[in-house]
Structure 1
């Protein structure tokens, strides 16, 4: 059995979920986790952040429920309103860190969300991946090269297809997968204890 975590780096609920996910993963060190980008803001949904009028209310609720931090630099991006969240670029970045450090995918996915939601850094910029890689002690040049390589786009699209094949329509979603059996452990929000109970029952 393995866990499949379908998220989007530009999804506030995924940002809020990362702490509970890390807790579950730490309780089950032998369990493999596949991290998949869902593709929330692609195609016609790639528009300036001001078009999503609900962002600040949603973030307040996420912070209240999960304790997630939303930093001043990020709040400035929201206030300005012109920033465009591009989930394809973010998925390329997730693919890049996953390629360089596959066993740290959960930790690095959370680090990318921290870079955006706390530090206000764009997940479309190579410099952001250099910063995240450096903080994580990874080979910065390798991460940036992986982000900029054409294979990253292929991997991003493969992730979007994988999410669709799993029937995932919202983020974050955590699934327990064994053979052809797929059991949902979390959808949107769950505590580590709730996910543990479902995992044990599965």
Structure 2
């Protein structure tokens, strides 16, 4: 019988605060792997009319400086070049589709997959609308790159990505990152954007002790 607690991580590949939160989230997931079942869902931060060139969002540069200061993550030279150029379009549907394609093969490694996608962007500055990114991540993680590419290009996978957006909305999430614990008493938020693994585990313990 599976007695692990259900935890949902709502993030977006183009969310800098999620990138800063990532190391703590992955450490938390690893330390509590025997107690939680983690699902990563994309929120769709930049979709529809919001899917625009990165240069259309001048606040990003200042936000990145604050993220680095508070979480100690580094933004790579490849990403800095993309930010400086300003023309790369951010469409969250594409990395959300990549996440679905990858997690189909490794549902128990979703935090790791999300981290790999964000590193491709925030470190290397790669185009998250390019299927080769997800092939390379699949190879890096020991997954079937051909299957990932086929899934990424299939309409069912894109529909599932859009389903993730809808599920996140139904959970009432309106900011990222958001980590949620599902219990018999309801859905509870664990920590905030700058929470470390120890704080997340402490919050998990407190909620599990009350159910």
Give TM-score, length-normalised by structure 1: 0.97
Question: Where does residue 129 of structure 1 map in the other structure?
Answer: 134
**What corresponds to 2:181 in structure 1?**
176
CA deviations on 1:76-113 (whole Å, 9 max, x unpaired) are 00000000110011110111111121111110110000
Deviates more, 1:173-182 or 1:73-82: 173-182
2:164 to 159, 166, 187: 159
| Alpha-carbon shift at residue 151 of structure 1 (Å) | 1.0
Aligned to 1:59: 64
Query: For 1:1-202, what aligned pairs fall within 5 Å after superposition?
Result: 1-30=5-34, 31-179=36-184, 181-202=186-207
Runs of at least 5 residues in structure 2 that lack an aligned partner in the other structure: none
Q: What is the root-mean-square deviation of aligned Cα atoms in Å?
A: 1.1
Q: Aligned partners of 1:151, 1:173: CA distance in 2, in Å?
A: 26
Greater alpha carbon shift after TM alignment, 184-193 vs 14-23: 184-193
Q: Structure 1 residues 174-183 or 163-172, which shifts more? A: 174-183
For 1:141 and 1:12, the matched residues in 2 are separated by 29
CA distance in 1, matches of 2:62, 2:127: 21
> Which range moves more in the overlay, 187-196 or 126-135?
187-196
TM-score by length of 2: 0.93
Between Structure 1 and Structure 2, how many residues are aligned? 202
Q: Secondary structure at the match of 2:189?
A: strand
CA shift, 1:125, in A, is 0.5
